[in-house]
Amino acid sequence: MSQALSTEELLYLIAFSKVKNISDIDKKEQLIQLSSAKAIYEYCKMHAHLQKIIWPFDAAKKEIEFIVKHQIQVLSILDSQYPNRLKHCDDAPIILYYKGKGNFQLPYLISIVGTRAHTRQAFTIIKDFVEAVKHLPIGIISGLAIGIDTVAHQTAIQNQIPTWAVLGHGLDQIYPTQNRKMAIAMLEHGGLLTEFSHQTSPLQFHFPKRNRIVAGMSDATLVIETDIKGGSMITASQAFKYNREVFAAPGKIYDPKSRGCLSLIKNNIAHIYHDPIHFLEALQWPLPPKTIQKKEKNQLSFQWDEITKQIIEFIDIHSPVEESFILAHFSMDPRILASKLLDLELDGVIERPTGNHYNRKIV
């Protein structure tokens, strides 16, 4: 239980969080304005039109019994331990129930979301990404769902990076049950949090509320494989609404698992996710030390002109791409293009795994 809350204030706070017919936005505004849930209750009792509001104190008392028994922390939006990025969202929940260890106020926080039925490529993208950012004091947030969420949490654990799962139900259960063992492991370096009280089932309409917390807690959201509809698209839209950065990994244009990501990119909601270094550079976050040394070496040996930068970006987007396709796009002398491609290959910017097909090389 948070030391910032007295037992009395906690009772009023939980009861207020359960009051119906008041939006999250209004609850947050009222709590910030009056500085305590008890003060809101007293204000309501002073005004006849507000006296009809039902405060479920009996349910709040049962919740406190559960909290005390299971050593669950309660974070009020007025609490300094409350996730500071989420606090700035207009519809942030006034209360969070939290089980685990770790610091929500880390300098860097990323949410990773995507489909439940992911490909092998998605697994590789997440693995490469997490390994590339583990030099930072960073945490990874997702929703504990089967698929991309699970891979994100597992990869974070393997790399000893704090990871938090935001739940669409109470802390008296784990959904899906297949992730129970992983969820327990997360408690040592991260944990589980939710705005829902115990005995709240994982109902479908709870997950969009869960997704706004995933988006709101993060500096940026990375979407990896999703169809045009689903929780990942809600998370991305919420992140965009909160003025957070969104990145989406593009895929095959006719693959249903790529339609959502391509839509986010097409509608300027998300940046194209090329590789971890591009991601870090876009956010102006520190690069891995070895990458910095490599880049400095490249910059000394070769200065890129504007057309070369365009070629790099073109290969980034279309990898693997044939030399003839690049030539047709830029309409330039084949000898000049061949020279530029060779320079980029020697500098370790691109690679040619087979024939005349070029890929962007991840350093």
CATH of the domain at 294: 1.10.10.10
The domain boundary, picked from 238, 262, 283, lies at 283
Mean pLDDT of 104-122: 91
Mean pLDDT of the chain, nearest integer: 89
CATH number for position 239: 3.40.50.450
Mean pLDDT of 281-309: 69
Residue 148 reports pLDDT greater than 70: yes
pLDDT confidence tier of residue 294, bands split at 50, 70 and 90: low
Domain contains 1 = no
The domain boundary, picked from 98, 126, 141, lies at 98
121 and 83 housed in the same domain: no
Look at residue 303 in the predicted model and tell me its pLDDT.
60
Domain around 15: 7-98
272 and 146 housed in the same domain: yes
Q: Which two tokens stand for residue 64?
A: 């406190």
Residue 363 reports pLDDT greater than 80: no
Query: With pLDDT > 70 as the criterion, what percentage of the chain qualifies?
Result: 94
Burial 69-84 (b: 16+ CB within 10 A, else e): eeebbbbbbbbebbbe
325 and 203 housed in the same domain: no
Domain contains 2 = no
Domain contains 142 = yes
Helix (H, G, I), strand (E, B) or coil at 25: helix
Domain contains 133 = yes
Distance CA 193, CA 170 (A): 9
pTM for the structure as a whole: 0.78
264 and 346 housed in the same domain: no
81 and 180 housed in the same domain: no
Structural domains counted in the chain: 3
Residue 265 reports pLDDT greater than 70: yes
